Structure 1
Amino acid sequence: MSHADRVQGLFELTRPGNAIAAGVLSFIGAFVAEGTAVFSNSGAIGAAIVTTILATGAGMAINDYFDRDIDRINDPERPIPRGAVAPRTVLIFSLILFAIAGALALLLSRLATAIAVVNLVALIMYTELFKGLPGVGNLLVSYLGGSTFLFGAAAVSQVNTPVFVLFLLAALSTFARELIKDIEDIEGDREGGMKTLPITIGYRPSLLIALVVLLIAVLASPIPYLIGIFGIAYLVLVTPAILVTIYAGYLSVDDPSVGQSILKYAMYISAVAFIGGRISLLL
């Protein structure tokens, strides 16, 4: 493989779309907490966004490092299985990103730094220690997904009720999506000796749990408007997200791969709804 292929492989390992989306969620957490005042603290929120992007990218890369044997079955076109980049290079690359993210986190408030340290350790240890424990890995990823809101808010020293509600909603959706993804990956995970929830309790029970969690998330989605956290714009914007979530759950019954992929877009629409809902309260 050429140098260009190696660089492309490393970039691909970070899943840049997911990493940037995580950075946006950190900004949303800060914006929901502080409103337009967040722009007067641009240094802190900028550091938080970059930290989140780097940490997420590092977590994605190190996950591929540990999952390289499983990916030869589940996803042979990933950079390591297809030979674009050597496993050792991926490990070093991910640790460098983690180190930079950790250094940036030290510039933030104590609470933000604490959240960053917990998350960085969790990302490093996820695949080796937690992913193979039935349900535990899903819960950890759910926390990590929702904690981007907490981290962004903590970066501007303000974690309040609205941000915590967003954390819970994001965690519910992430749990369901991760469980559906485990269902999709059941063959490779079994070959790799993993003990994920679908392997432990079966395909159908796991899918039922995922759909119940999705239903809870759907029913809870209007709560931020009902308790006055967000304005009417939130309710208008979150409705498409609810519909996409329901559709993704329906598709997951027959095709978990398509279902979990579509569910990701519902989460992005929800993020737009969070911003719109907060702005509508400021007008």
Structure 2
Amino acid sequence: MMVTLPSSPKQFNSPNLIQGVAQLCRPTLSVLAAVASCLTVFALQPATSVWVYLQTATVLICMTAGAFAINDFDDVEKDRINHPDRPLPSATLLPHHAWWIAVTLFCGALGAAVPLGLACWIVVAISALLLWNYAAILNLSGTLGNGIVAMIVGTLIFFASLVTERPWAMLYPSIFLFFYILAKEIVWDIHDAEGDRQRNVHTIANSWGPTQAFSIAWGLILLLLISIPIAMIQLTMAHPALFGCCATLMLLSFALALWRYQTIQTSLTYKYLIVLGRLGMILGLAGLLGTAPSL
């Protein structure tokens, strides 16, 4: 991939580099992924040792931060259009910085997964391989790329289930998270449509138009809302009311932001969509505590 740089890059100093690395790795989202997995471990096996929690958190933080780093490396040209304030298009960091950061973080995730067992290491290795080749997957199909991202995010709960040796205990929340992230990915592509078109990335928003993309996202949200009372009745959950309330609020908060963004597509409503989506994820983490089957 040929990467062009601005003619006047920013001066590289410690504050700029630290800020650039923080923007590149999205520490808030990386920690959120770790918290989700650790909460799943706690819900399934509260007596798990602190060492296992630390290993699980290390794997998820490194994996998530590495995914952001390699994604920004691959998307630098698209981000000049859609996200010019990010570290690479703004020249806070250079592309080779992002590449080496991603390599280091993925190696850290693989190393931290070794003591957790072969099955856990295989899940991390497959996830790292898919994330590293995400740009190539996007060239095949942007929609396939959406599915890969949603699958990997859903896998963080499955990974935690493997850590506790109860791999299928949290199958429903893993599938729930998959469809929730898929809806969000489809909506993000509406915002990134111009950059995707220039890179010849075929997404639902590009191929079928934003109206169809919004319709599919709304359909996924409705499907998840319908699944909540069914799951509460049919599945054995430790605290079904906790799950039902948190999951419903999470979906409704995202739906509110999505409606506002669909009505008026501006940078402000897009940021509002992101913020409410993240707040909704925190509610979803609380709901995780209620989905585990009773011991």
Q: Please give the per-residue CA displacement for 1:88-136, whole angstroms capped at 9, x wherever unaligned.
A: 1110111011111111111212221111111111111112323651410
State the partner residue of 1:37: 47
- Per the TM alignment, residue 268 of structure 1 is displaced from its structure 2 partner at its CA by 2.0
1:213 to 214, 217, 220: 220
1:261 positional shift:
4.2
Question: Secondary structure, in 3 states, of the residue corresponding to 1:253?
Answer: helix
1:4 shift after superposition: 2.3
After TM superposition, give the deviation of residue 242 of structure 1 in Å. Answer: 3.4
Output the CA distance in 2 between the equivalents of 1:70 and 1:105: 33
Residue 173 of structure 2 is matched in structure 1 by 166
Say yes or no: does 1:145 pair with 2:145.
no
The one-letter code of the counterpart of 2:80 is: R
Q: CA separation of 1:59/1:190 partners in 2, compared to 1, >3 Å: closer, same or farther?
A: same
Counterpart position of 1:192: 199
Normalising by structure 2, we get a TM-score of 0.87
Secondary structure, aligned partner of 2:167: coil
Question: What is residue 88 of structure 2 aligned with on the other side?
Answer: 80
Q: Which runs of 5+ in 2 are unaligned?
A: 1-10
Q: Contact 1:173–1:267 (CA<8 Å) still a contact in 2?
A: no
Superposed CA offset, 1:208-249 (max 9, x none) = 111111111122133442223242333333342232133133
Letter in 1 for 2:273: G
Distance 1:260 1:11, change over 3 A: closer
Secondary structure of the corresponding residue to residue 133 of structure 2: helix
Structure 1 segments of 4+ aligned residues over 6 angstroms from their partners: none
Say what the alpha-carbon RMSD is for the aligned residues. 2.0
TM-aligned CA deviation for residue 276 of structure 1: 4.8
Which residues in structure 2 correspond to 1:22-101 (within 5 Å)?
Answer: 22-34=33-45, 36-38=46-48, 41-101=49-109
Larger mean Cα displacement after TM superposition, 270-279 or 164-173: 270-279
Cα separation, 2, equivalents of 1:176 and 1:150: 20
Q: How does 1:97-136 map to 2 (within 5 A)?
A: 97-130=105-138, 133-136=141-144
TM-score scaled by length of structure 1: 0.90
Return the alpha-carbon distance in structure 2 between the equivalents of residues 237 and 197 of structure 1: 29
8 A Cα contact 1:19 1:53, kept in partner: yes
Contact conserved, 2:237 with 2:290, CA < 8 A, in 1? no
6, 23, 31: which one aligns with 2:17: 6
Q: Distance in 1 between matches of 2:140 and 2:221?
A: 22
Distance 1:131 1:183 in 2: 17
Instruction: Single out whichever of 186-195 and 48-57 deviates more from structure 2.
Output: 186-195
- Which structure 1 segments of 5+ residues have no match? none
CA drift at 1:37: 2.4
Does 1:247 find its partner at 2:265?
Answer: no
1:17 aligns to 2:24 (yes or no): no
Q: Residue type matched to 2:166 in 1?
A: Q
CA contact (8 A) 1:59 1:123 kept: yes
State the distance in 1 between where 2:215 and 2:69 align.
Answer: 30
Amino acid at match of 1:110: L
1:259 aligned onto 2:273: yes
- The answer to whether the 8 Å contact 2:257/2:273 transfers is yes
Q: Distance in 1 between matches of 2:70 and 2:227?
A: 33
d(CA) in 2 for partners of 1:223, 1:260: 28
Matched length: 277
Mapped partners of 1:263, 1:217: distance in 2: 15
Identity rate, percent? 22
